[in-house]
Structure 1
């Protein structure tokens, strides 16, 4: 006969995989919006490629999962109710922003929902500010690096191909952008899928009573998280694809290559360092950086401002929602 804690654990795993699936279709735009906007790939082919490479990328490490799973709230302070509240908060925020076509960060929604639920469960002393500092580093520096990196990559390409025939440039980068889009999809999986691995392992730690030294991501968690994100990505979040790919700046294949290459390099580096970044932040600002090489007015700053506003609102909203859902679930179930 199943015990209540075991049933809750099974429920958490199911909810986490739903979050991962939603994260996949919410963030499909990160991987394919530019290649679809430049017509290098058809939407169907782009989505299929992104789904497969998301899975492959998710199998390449667990450094980010470790930061999320034990770097924000210590294993000894983690509870199943805390994990449920954080997941519900992050899922609802992801669906709200998806519905309105706003490319917010699913990653930061999850992390700051964990913070809110952790504070509700055990106060601010439960929060490990070293792990949270990594998140803020990604929050602050990855968008800046995305903009600056793409700007200079684009400047370099314009200098190299200044005398080349436009038709040759379009054909060349039409092929090269397929490679950059594939790398972008791979890097997206390597960073974003690990957040779900971390939250599931967090729940396992609370169930089995793991200490910091016993904490590790099981292989079956890696495989399930990778598959769930890949399936979500294969469906595609078309509302956000339109926002990122078509409304921020007009793109050509060379622009898409520059933006994707810069963004993928930043995300992949962050994944190896265990820094959870928002792939949405990075690719959005990379596209802006590419647009800024044409002229300042080439970037539709009204849309860009709407995106930045959503990023800022995500942090307090998800802390508050995580806190509220923990309190409500505690009152309804009596669990801690």
Structure 2
């Protein structure tokens, strides 16, 4: 299969279903940068280490680099996503079902943004394509259990490791810097938070960018009559395209979500914001290296909760936490059902 820029785009432009798939995927990447990436800079903005405009510009740049660099170095997350579902045996409508899944993800993400709730596009993506695959195959044969179990690992990893590392790193920072003058400490951690926000933005691009590259690869494979992307190399033009789109989406920002994650859930000092960013970045790096798709929102939020619990558990605003957990719980069945229904409707129409 020729995946060069010229050959791939010639095929995309000559195949309406593939063109719609590519445009919808780019739309989801844009929405992800717009609604999900703000979580990466929520803490450095809430502690006033950076002005929101400067933080959004920085996040856009490092999201771009994260998608590009990490995909070149280690693309296992992209492969996990593209091989998670089974569209085999239905080459005539497989792309239509994939389009339906992407449409469901956009609906879910925009609705969550409208209500200012930091949902997870990662969970929505997994749920949407799984629902569409089940609709296409008429049962759970549309799911690749070996790859899907990594989602469960990701939920555990992002929750337990996110909270635990946030708690431990914050404790360690408090011990190491306990003798530093408060004024000097604030100055030091203001700079450290900028580094932490950049690291979080980079890892957001690395995790979420790969997931959508995996979907693009799956679309092209389905258009060529294949059913999986095993052993295929990711083309550089695709990495660059996804990097640019995510960077542009991030530059628009999402101030409502920054407020919900960084300000409403728990009030953070600068050293706490740095600890949360470092903890979440390390969790995302570990997950990416092992090809485990995790929610960047989920990971960052649990890290902030762990940091807040160091001071006292009551410092965490559990009303906000409850809203977020409810959204996460609803995303899998909710977006999965929308993906299922949209796939059924699209297949009937087209």
Q: Give the match for residue 79 of structure 2.
A: 66
Matches within 5 A, 1:1-336: 6-59=15-68, 60-61=70-71, 62-73=75-86, 79-122=94-137, 123-210=139-226, 212=228, 213=230, 215-333=232-350
Could you list the per-position Cα deviations for residues 75-103 of structure 1 after superposition, in whole angstroms to 9, with x for gaps in the alignment?
A: 66672012101101111110111111111
Conserved 8 A contact 2:37-2:204: no
Whole-Å separation in 1 of the counterparts to 2:13 and 2:176: 64
Whole-Å separation in 2 of the counterparts to 1:164 and 1:27: 35
**Which moves more between the two structures, 251-260 or 217-226?**
217-226
Whole-Å separation in 1 of the counterparts to 2:150 and 2:103: 23
Conserved 8 A contact 1:24-1:233: yes
Q: SS where residue 249 of structure 1 aligns?
A: coil
Conserved 8 A contact 1:58-1:190: yes
Q: TM-score, normalised by structure 2?
A: 0.91
Whole-Å separation in 1 of the counterparts to 2:283 and 2:295: 11
Q: TM-score, normalised by structure 1?
A: 0.95
Between the two proteins, the alignment pairs up a number of residues equal to: 333
Q: SS where residue 293 of structure 1 aligns?
A: helix
The CA RMSD over aligned residues, in Å, is: 1.8
Whole-Å separation in 2 of the counterparts to 1:308 and 1:126: 27
Whole-Å separation in 1 of the counterparts to 2:87 and 2:234: 15
Whole-Å separation in 2 of the counterparts to 1:139 and 1:281: 8
